[in-house]
Each structure stands twice: as structure tokens, then as C-alpha cells.
Amino acid sequence: MQKLLERRWTPAGVTLPDEQLVPEVIASLIRMTGGNFRLLTRLLTQIERVLSVNNLHLVSTAVVEAARDSLVIGPG
């Protein structure tokens, strides 16, 4: 999962900013999803929504946490 995220993999239909994800964000995504690709897909989709609604252009750990909270995934 880490290699996919480092290569900027996203599910079909999800567009994230062009900037590379920082290691802390990748670690957060892996920790929150526990390696579950279905959950990763849901989380990345929600991250795209959080970025759009808040007019943000960078995926930060705060954005990842906001997306997790809105999906009620559980503690990271």
C-alpha cells in the first residue's frame, strides 16, 4: 500500500492535488485503513471532498483526519 501511495495511486474517479504525499500522510492513511483497500478507496474519496469543500490544495494529516472523522472509520 505504501508503494502505491508513493506513486500517487488513486481509485478511479478520484483526483487529488499533484503534490507528492508526504510520508506522515502516507503513514496516517495506512494506519487508519489497516491495509484495507476498500477502506482506502472510501477515505481517498472523502479526502477529495474535504479538499474541495474547504478549497484546499494540499493533502495534510489534518485533512486525512477530517475525512476519517466524517466517515466514522474509528481511531487512527
pLDDT in tens, 5-14: 999 999 999 9
Nearest-angstrom CA–CA distance, 76 and 28: 7
What pLDDT is attached to residue 72? Answer: 73
C-alpha cell at 74: 474509528
Grid cell for residue 71: 466517515
Q: What is the pTM of this model?
A: 0.90
Dist. CA 10–CA 8, nearest whole Å: 6
Given a cut of 70, the residues of the chain with pLDDT beneath it are: 73-76
